[in-house]
Amino acid sequence: MIQRSNKYKKINPPPTPVSENRFMQKFKLGTLISRFGDTNSISIQQHFLFKERLGSGKFSNVISVISIKDQKIYAIKESLHVFKSIPEVLDRLKEIQAILNIFNSEITIPLLHIVNFYAIWENQGKIYSQIEYCNSKSLQDFIDFQSNLNDISDDFIWDLLYQISLALTAIHEKNYVHLDLKPENILIHQITIEGNTMTILKLGDFGLLKQKGDQIRFEGDAQYLSPEILQKESQKITANFSNDLFSLGATLYRISSNVDEDTFERQIKKIQRTQKLTKLKYNIERSPQIIEIINALLDPNPNSRLTLNKIFQIEKIQQINNEKKDLYQKLINFYQNEFSSGFTISNKLYLFQKDPQQFEEKLQKKLKKEKKKDLKSKISGDVPSFRVPKNNFMTKMENYDF
């Protein structure tokens, strides 16, 4: 049992998922808890000690916690969006299903480069995720910390290309597109095995994940989006693997060019706007092959853009792969228990997994009933309130002195 100290405060995360939102009382998002059992009988606050706030963004807040059960550090992510309708819940369930599909397999080398999910639950119309804690922040933090990127070697660029290509392989082989690849979503994790410290890059944040061929809308960080998404902002466009490859090229250019943020943005915007690849500016001497690969990834034409298959055929990448064979076997052994498909799936989500069409039909029937009840409520003056109580997870966290 962990000894509680002044450093670690017991958190008050969402209690047993009970919402004051009338809609969510009638239909609770399927609970996915891997390590704690049924949240209807066990309060999640029994299981964690608060450690530190990791960051806040437009769509979510993230903190680190210590599990009382296994004494390991995890991250917990709170979605800031409040779900107010069945279609919204259905969309979120599809995203959760995509995450389950990616991890529903034996552990592989590509899967090592994806931030692992341990539990997902809903409270008061918001989504909370217990995910793998990466101890060295993000690639964006690494960039911001450097006074200049002059010290970044070609070997580091090659390793970045190799590891993130593996991460994309884990997603693409399940027929999904990430659509939000950027330095901020590449997390750095250092791990020591048999006395050797290794740096692993992991791709996270699956909020924009789509199945290949699904219609997408203009979202994400424009600096890293492929030209075809931006050019067709007002038109229908479907998710494609090549979207992620352009984002990979932009990420590689950002960290290898040693140009400032404004210059980087101008260079990428020029490609996006003109759909022509001109000579990119570098304030450091780089291997001609690295520059050639970045250019091939930033090709404005998605049909001629460099693919993952061609990346893994590059001699230098094959060399890195051969050098890391023994290392990856040790990593797989280390993570064997971490990537177990141990989600306990509620009946609602199980039905969604088994027969999505039947699940959607049931939801639509519920939606029609809700509309009728809302109409009656408006006539009687009793309008349902979707206000979320202020005493939510992150608000409570502000009360702690850390």
| Lowest-confidence pick of 68-72, 79-83, 255-259 | 79-83
List, in sequence order, every residue forming a beta bridge with 210; answer none if it has no partner.
Answer: 177
Distance CA 131, CA 116 (A): 6
The predicted model scores a pTM of: 0.76
**How does DSSP assign 279-304, residue by residue?**
PPP-SS---HHHHHHHHHHT-S-TTT
3-state helix, strand, coil in the chain (%, to 5): 45, 15, 40
Distance CA 334, CA 223 (A): 36
Q: Outline where 198-338 has alpha helix (H).
A: 227-231, 241-256, 261-274, 288-297, 308-311, 315-323, 325-335
Query: For a pLDDT cut of 70, what percent of the chain falls above it?
Result: 66
| Lowest-confidence pick of 37-41, 113-117, 252-256 | 37-41
CB 119 within 8 A of CB 343: yes
Could you identify the residue written with the tokens 């369930």?
93
pLDDT greater than 60 at residue 265: yes
pLDDT greater than 70 at residue 388: no
For the record, the structure tokens of 392 come out as: 């939510």
Mean pLDDT of 84-109: 74
Cite the annotated binding site for ATP by residue number. 77
pLDDT confidence of 9, banded at 50, 70, 90? very low
- Residue 321: its pLDDT value, please? 94
- Residue 341: its pLDDT value, please? 40
Phi then psi for 365, rounded to 5 degrees?
A: -65, -45
- How many CA atoms does the CB half-sphere of 56 hold within 13 Å? 7
For residue 395, CA distances in Å to 11, 133, 335, 386, 390 come to 11, 22, 34, 18, 7
* Higher pLDDT, residue 148 or 142: 142
Highest average pLDDT, of 109-113, 143-147, 231-235, comes from 109-113
- Residue 37: its pLDDT value, please? 37
Distance CA 257, CA 306 (A): 19
- Name residue 114's amino acid: I
Residue range 318-348, pLDDT digits in tens: 999 999 988 888 888 887 755 444 443 333 4
Mean residue pLDDT of the chain comes to 75
**How does DSSP assign 112-162, residue by residue?**
GGB--EEEEEEETTEEEEEEEPPTT-BHHHHHHH-S-GGG--HHHHHHHHH
Distance CA 378, CA 108 (A): 54
Mean pLDDT of 393-398: 33
For the record, the structure tokens of 380 come out as: 């009687």
- Residue 382: its pLDDT value, please? 38
Domains in the chain (CATH in brackets) are: 9-133+340-397 (3.30.200.20), 139-323 (1.10.510.10)
pLDDT confidence of 402, banded at 50, 70, 90? very low
- Residue 375: its pLDDT value, please? 52
